[in-house]
Structure 1
Amino acid sequence: MKKTLIICLFLCLNLSVFAQNKDTWISFWDKDSTHIGFKDKNGIVKIEPKFMGMIIAHKFENIIAVSEEKGQKWESYYLTKKGKIVGRDSLYVFDNGPDCENEGFIRFTDHKTDKMGMFNGDGKIIIPPVYSNLTKVRNGMIIVLKDAEKKQDGEHFFWTGGKEFLIDTNNKVLIENFAYNDDLNFYSLEKSKEPSKDPIRDNFLGVDGQYYSFVNFEKEFKHWLQNTLLKDLSKAGLEKHSFAKITFYKALEGWISAPKIKFIDQNYTYLKLKLEELKNPKTDYFVSTDGLNQFIFETEEYDAYFNNCRESKEWLYPVKSIIINTKNKTDFKQDHIQFLRTENGYKLISVSDAKDNLK
């Protein structure tokens, strides 16, 4: 029998990073709600409110991006829990917000060269700024783009050319020619001498001669949909595969939530009918991927699915939306049925009905 090494956490280094600061600090506003500081879990102020502008971190574990006003100027930098300041005016900014740490690492930009690198939780450069672009750390691994050319398209820019690699946090290349892929679950890594035959996994040959395989979210969801959910559309079956609360849309009320048992009981006929349609090959539908919406799912039961900056952890907990087009081709309304990937499998979390009949 072939032995397969299952990697739950790719680098032991990350374990030490996670453990070094168990006391997560929480942000708070000053009386005027103009400056942000941080308190520990006992409410003791660790940093007086002085940050403003680009700070987006709600929690402080190891390292965060901050900005503060100094006289008539803004000063931005990275700050560690020990008070060390690094990367002055080197914030990596995307979509009008700076980076948020993941697994104790945070990205930065050398604006003189327009290249990116990465700090660890102690403020040390562990990935030098030699890359055109790189992802957050995911299970001790990073997808990097090197020697690409940046081009502008109106207000947006994009990269052309260059080479992509999968590296670890020691800047060691693991896989060459590794194209960026949002559908891979890096926390599902398996290494083996032969490619995995699991149909929901994608295989890549590493520079060490071994095969790295990852669960593909898209394949995983479609396999689960066809072989689990659609096999049992009873009320009990739907309840088993639902989040504790179901959020749904009403035209006059907006987004509202109800306990899953109540929601399924009141809307069972609709849910069963729509899901039964997916068994028909003629049904016009598609599956899209996104992250959990922070402006809709605001309460504490969703906290595990967001990072310290209230960004969706879509690299681990994607939301899969089944979007069903109406049979009337002149009607552009659609039914949306959303499932959140959780530690206990995919769970029904949100529904919107084209005819607004949900209750």
Structure 2
Amino acid sequence: MNCSVFAQNNDTWISFWDKDTTHIGFKDQNGNIKITPKFTRITSAHKFDAIIAVSEDIKGSWKSYYLTKAGRIVGLDSLYIFDNGPDCENEGFIRFRDPKTYKMGMFNSEGKVAIPAAYSNLTKARNGMVVALKGAIKKKFDDEHFGWTGGKEFLIDTNNKILIENFEYENDFDLNFYSVQKSKNPSKDPTRENFPGINGQYYSFIDYDKEFKLWIKNTLLSDLSKENLLTNSFEKITYWKNPNGWINEPKAKFIDQNYKILKMKLQELNSEKTDYFISTDGLNQFIFEAKEYEEYFNNCNESKEWQYPVKNIVITSKDNEDFGQDHFEFLRTENGYKLISVSISEDTLK
């Protein structure tokens, strides 16, 4: 394999380029080369923990496969490609697609098939659970895009065991799979969604959207003091300022300088006449690049929005002649939602 001896351990390997930045290899955290640069740019993993998707140019032909930390090659020419990039390992599992049937399955960290390629679509593993679509029909929208129609959704675990049948939810990315609770009766928590499991118990999950709206009302808007705003802000706040673009400031300095305008804008949310909406996204990897944001991205530098979503409140100007919008972004962290980014249409931030 033209690489050093592999070892299955907990040491994260880091990607690096060769001298002419055409091939990617991996080093351990002490700088020792574990894999000499030979992979092409389609290899999107910046870090190697368990299993990654790679591609090589061997004598003029492309060879793509999955590679485990122990050096095992599996899933030759079976990469699952989404949004022009291959899948990234999550919780030690990575998705693949059978090139003959076009159905999806999942490998574990040892390169063994944990979930067979029997599904039309699979989500990433989230707290050991996967939303699986089965029996759908592939529908082509144009020359580059397709989707699925029909079929049945299940909630399964990473051993391919069905937990919930008919697991239909408008947007399963709104569900916090890390908040799962099992009980004999449905949860009465207004932020939770309940689903009957095949074991006779109910599975409930926090709905991020319901949780955030309740948090905004009860925690933030009920007390717009400077102290409470500081408590519910990320350590650094990123804001837009012409002509400099995005600026990153410690929260104490930013809020102290801009408290009046922040309070005035956020108070508008208490009025029923205010025109605003809330959208969900992930943390922007091109803006939030510093080390303090590292835990919110996976090994391919993709936002882990299924675990740490960003809720964006967009307020439309009251002035009919001003079509500007104000943006307040809140990142869900292990310590609750935190204000992390602000953009004011009038450019009045200091």
Same fold (TM > 0.5): yes
Rounded Cα–Cα distance in structure 2 between residues aligned with 1:168 and 1:118: 11
Match of 2:231 in 1: 240
Rounded Cα–Cα distance in structure 2 between residues aligned with 1:239 and 1:95: 37
Supply the AA of the counterpart residue of 2:296: Y
Rounded Cα–Cα distance in structure 1 between residues aligned with 2:145 and 2:44: 22
If asked which structure has higher relative contact order (CA below 8 Å, sep 6+), I would say 1
Rounded Cα–Cα distance in structure 2 between residues aligned with 1:119 and 1:182: 22
Are the equivalent residues in 2 in contact too, given 1:267–1:358 (CA < 8 A)?
yes
Q: Does 2:89 match 1:98?
A: no
Q: Deviations over 1:242-273 (max 9, x none)?
A: 11111001231111111101100111111100
Match of 2:164 in 1: 175
Q: How does 1:148-167 map to 2 (within 5 A)?
A: 148-154=136-142, 155-167=144-156
Q: 1:31 aligns with which of 9, 13, 19?
A: 19
Q: Does 2:203 match 1:212?
A: yes
The alpha carbon displacement at 1:330 in A equals 4.3
Match of 2:331 in 1: 340
Rounded Cα–Cα distance in structure 2 between residues aligned with 1:179 and 1:116: 19
Supply the AA of the counterpart residue of 1:302: Y
Rounded Cα–Cα distance in structure 2 between residues aligned with 1:211 and 1:269: 46
Q: Which portions of structure 1, spanning 4 or more consecutive aligned residues, are displaced by more than 3 angstroms?
A: none
Are the equivalent residues in 2 in contact too, given 1:53–1:68 (CA < 8 A)?
no
The alpha carbon displacement at 1:21 in A equals 3.1
Are the equivalent residues in 2 in contact too, given 1:148–1:161 (CA < 8 A)?
yes
Q: Does 2:318 match 1:302?
A: no
Q: How does 1:101-112 map to 2 (within 5 A)?
A: 101-112=89-100
Q: Does 2:9 match 1:21?
A: yes
Q: 1:52 aligns with which of 40, 59, 62?
A: 40
Q: How does 1:266-345 map to 2 (within 5 A)?
A: 266-345=257-336
Q: 2:221 aligns with which of 195, 205, 230?
A: 230
Are the equivalent residues in 2 in contact too, given 1:66–1:79 (CA < 8 A)?
yes
Are the equivalent residues in 2 in contact too, given 1:163–1:177 (CA < 8 A)?
yes
State the TM-score, normalized to the length of structure 2.
Answer: 0.96
Rounded Cα–Cα distance in structure 1 between residues aligned with 2:63 and 2:27: 22
Supply the AA of the counterpart residue of 1:173: I
Q: Does 2:75 match 1:87?
A: yes
C-alpha RMSD over aligned residues: 0.9
Q: Deviations over 1:113-156 (max 9, x none)?
A: 01000000000011110100000000010000001011111232
Rounded Cα–Cα distance in structure 1 between residues aligned with 2:65 and 2:115: 17
Q: Deviations over 1:83-119 (max 9, x none)?
A: 0000000000000000000000000000110100000
State the TM-score, normalized to the length of structure 1.
Answer: 0.93
Gaps of 5+ in 2: 1-7
Are the equivalent residues in 1 in contact too, given 2:24–2:41 (CA < 8 A)?
no
Match of 1:118 in 2: 106
SS in 1 for 2:256: helix
* Stretch deviating more after TM superposition (133-142 or 327-336): 327-336
Gaps of 5+ in 1: 1-19
Q: How does 1:61-72 map to 2 (within 5 A)?
A: 61-72=49-60
Rounded Cα–Cα distance in structure 2 between residues aligned with 1:28 and 1:271: 42
Are the equivalent residues in 2 in contact too, given 1:340–1:349 (CA < 8 A)?
yes
